[in-house]
Chain A
Amino acid sequence: GQQLNQSPQSMFIQEGEDVSMNCTSSSIFNTWLWYKQEPGEGPVLLIALYKAGELTSNGRLTAQFGITRKDSFLNISASIPSDVGIYFCAGASQGAQKLVFGQGTRLTINP
């Protein structure tokens, strides 16, 4: 089945640093979504991408839909303590009725 490889699995950074994480797929996706999940809570949508090459920002977050349709990245600039959490990429192929999730990137920030 479809699989997403998300990296890195974990990041330990200093407050104020920029963060970059990415996802690659073995097959073409038509939609890429980035979610953030905090302990015991449901994933919260951060950014949605629907077009190859699309670059979208949401505050300090920027995500891009790769030209090949098989990858996406998420950047967080000037990280702050509340950015701590697990970030998941998720994708769907054309006409799909489900999302496939990456393994998550656990972000830890040292003040």
Chain B
Amino acid sequence: AAGVIQSPRHLIKEKRETATLKCYPIPRHDTVYWYQQGPGQDPQFLISFYEKMQSDKGSIPDRFSAQQFSDYHSELNMSSLELGDSALYFCASSPPGTVLISGNTIYFGEGSWLTVV
């Protein structure tokens, strides 16, 4: 079965540069979530989109922005990168319907490793 696809898997950037991460949800999933996981940390929610509109916002820095496109894929744009932005960035998706009600759950991609040097 198709899973959540993230690209690139690995990315190395210098401080103050810009990075873009892409996420392709499971087919027919309309909600996308972005999480950031620092070394040894639990995943922290950044932002989510439902039907191309932002649905919830977590601890996403102002330097970061994201959007969901008409084909439901999403992109996370990170500017003015800092060393502390080095982390594993996960995208997850969930199917239509009230999220997290029985039968609807969230599936994660394999993550994109961002290293800022």
Interface residues of A in 34-65 (CB under 8 A from B): 35, 40-45, 48, 50-51
Interface residues of B in 55-101 (CB under 8 A from A): 55-56, 58, 88, 90, 92, 98-101
Q: Which residues of B contact A82 (CB under 8 A)?
A: none
Interface residues of A in 71-111 (CB under 8 A from B): 88, 92, 95-104
Q: Which residues of A contact B88 (CB under 8 A)?
A: 40
Question: Is the pair B42, A104 in contact by a Cβ cutoff of 8 Å?
Answer: yes
Q: Which residues of B contact A30 (CB under 8 A)?
A: 100-101
Question: Is the pair A103, B100 in contact by a Cβ cutoff of 8 Å?
Answer: no
Known: A88-B42, A97-B31, A99-B106. A42 touches B90 (CB 8 A): yes
**A106–chain B nearest beta-carbon distance, Å:** 9
Q: Which residues of B contact A104 (CB under 8 A)?
A: 42
Question: Is the pair A42, B111 in contact by a Cβ cutoff of 8 Å?
Answer: yes
Known: A92-B99, A97-B55. A40 touches B106 (CB 8 A): no
Q: Does A22 contact B (CB under 8 A)?
A: no
* Binary flags per residue of B27-48, CB closer than 8 Å to A gives 1, else 0: 0000101000000001111001
Known: A45-B105, A92-B99. A103 touches B42 (CB 8 A): yes
In chain A, what residue has the closest Cβ to B88? A40
Q: Which residues of B contact A31 (CB under 8 A)?
A: 100-101, 105
B interface size (C-beta, 8 A):
28
Interface residue from A40, A41, A42, A96 paired with B100 (Cβ < 8 Å):
A96
- Chain A interface helix/strand/loop/mixed: loop
**B110–chain A nearest beta-carbon distance, Å:** 5
A residues with a Cβ closer than 8 A to B are 30-31, 33, 35, 40-45, 48, 50-51, 88, 92, 95-104
B residues with a Cβ closer than 8 A to A are 4, 31, 33, 42-45, 48, 50, 55-56, 58, 88, 90, 92, 98-102, 105-111, 113
Query: Which 4 residue pairs are nearest across A and B when measured between Cβ atoms?
Result: A42-B108, A50-B102, A97-B56, A31-B100
Sample (19) of A-B pairs whose CB atoms are under 8 Å apart? A31-B100, A31-B101, A33-B106, A41-B111, A42-B111, A43-B90, A45-B106, A51-B102, A92-B100, A95-B98, A96-B56, A97-B31, A97-B33, A97-B55, A97-B56, A98-B48, A98-B56, A99-B100, A103-B42
